[in-house]
Each structure stands twice: as structure tokens, then as C-alpha cells.
Amino acid sequence: MVDVTRPTAIVYIDGLNLYRQKLEYHPHTKWLDPVRMSELMLPTHDIARVRYFTTKVKPAATDADAPIRQTVYWRALRTLEPRLTIHEGKMRTDSRRYPVVPREVNEDGSVVTAKVMKVEEKGSDVALASYMVFDAARNPADLHVLLSSDSDFVPTLNLLKGELGVQTALFSPIENPPSMLIATEPLIVKIVRRAFLENAQFPDEMRDAKGPFHRPPSWR
């Protein structure tokens, strides 16, 4: 329940960015409650809503069970509805050729290339930017918080502050956020530190309408 006596905030989480920068190599933090984390990072505000932008992973040659763990995690996230909503993008995989490192040259002078498999998330960044503008225009909170270190969101933050007149904040999953993001002059800048993640974990055992479920064993 939102306390009307305190300012409100909406938090927009770039899920893939958070995962790659903070969670990927620390499995014990992956069972993350994003609402609780937001509350810990912003105790001066009531968290009116958390929008979590992500995409379904595909089985990898080295980790075929990744989609199973993600499905369980999404069950945990959905226990937070309607306060938290999941916004799903798409994962695109295709093959491309890139120059090898270190650089090599063929006898004819052409650069030696290698064929690689490239995996890209599509749609999540656009959706996040769109919802930040949509929320600010329709029913703005006192603070709109971006959790990402991606400087592609600079135009969105500038638009929110310069054209729509709303206050923004930045939660950075890296120690030194890009100067371009800082230049948008967010009201608050905080680093997503390990303690915030470790203190915002879901209970090991949970239950939803389908029945009981638990934290994946490899995330303990």
C-alpha cells in the first residue's frame, strides 16, 4: 500500500543490463525481489510500481536449464503483481562475421574474419523508454527511476526532465555510470551495491496459485 504522505517513485529496471553487470557471476543474488531492492535503495519514497524489462532466454550449449530457472524466477516475480509488472522483449540469434583479434590480414590484403553466433535482445530498451514517457505523461510519480548503465536512455531522461518536467533518478549497476547519464542531472544517483541485492532476496520457499516452488538449487 502506498503511503500518500510520502513522495512516490516508479522504478524501471533494465533486466539484462542488471543481470550482466551485477548478477551473472553471483548466483546467490539472482533470486532477487526487485520491489524490496527498490525500497532499500530509495527509503525516502514509496515505490508505487516497478516495471521489469527482460526477455526469455534460450537454452545454451553450456547451460540447457537456464530457461527452466528463469521460468521459476518469473513465477516469483508475478507474486508481486500488480505492484510489479514484467515487460517481455525478444531474443534474436543469428550468425555474423567479425574481424579476428588480434588483427590478421590475408595474402590479398583482406582482413581475416571469423563466423560467430550473435545473441541480441530486441525490444526491451524501446519498451522501457516508451513506458517512462507514457507514465510521466499520463500519471507521473514524484520520481521516475532508471536502473541501467546504458547511455542509450539519455534522450529519454532528457525528455522527461526537459519537456515533461518530471524528476528522474539513476540506479547504476556499475561503479562509474556513464558521464552522459550523469549529465542528464538526475535528482538522485545511487550504485546498486551487493548489499542491496543480498538483502532483497525472495524466501527460499514460495507459493502461488499453482502451488509451492523454491529457489533454484544453483542459486543458493
Residue range(s) defining the domain that contains residue 49: 8-89+123-219
Could you give the CA distance from residue 132 to residue 44 in angstroms, rounded to a whole number?
A: 21
Q: Which grid cell is 33?
A: 525481489
Report yes or no on 55 lying in a domain.
yes
Domain containing residue 185: CATH number: 3.40.50.1010
Which distant-in-sequence residues (6+ apart) come within 8 Å of 104 by Cβ?
Answer: 111, 112
Report yes or no on 110 lying in a domain.
no
Report yes or no on 141 lying in a domain.
yes
- At which residue does the C-alpha cell 542528464 appear? 184
Domain count, the chain: 1
- pLDDT, one tens digit per residue, over 153-202 is 999 999 999 999 999 999 999 999 999 999 999 999 999 999 999 999 99
Contact by Cβ (8 Å): 157, 168? yes
* Entry pTM: 0.86
- pLDDT, one tens digit per residue, over 40-55 is 999 999 999 999 999 9
CA nearest neighbour of 68 among 77, 80, 76, 59: 59
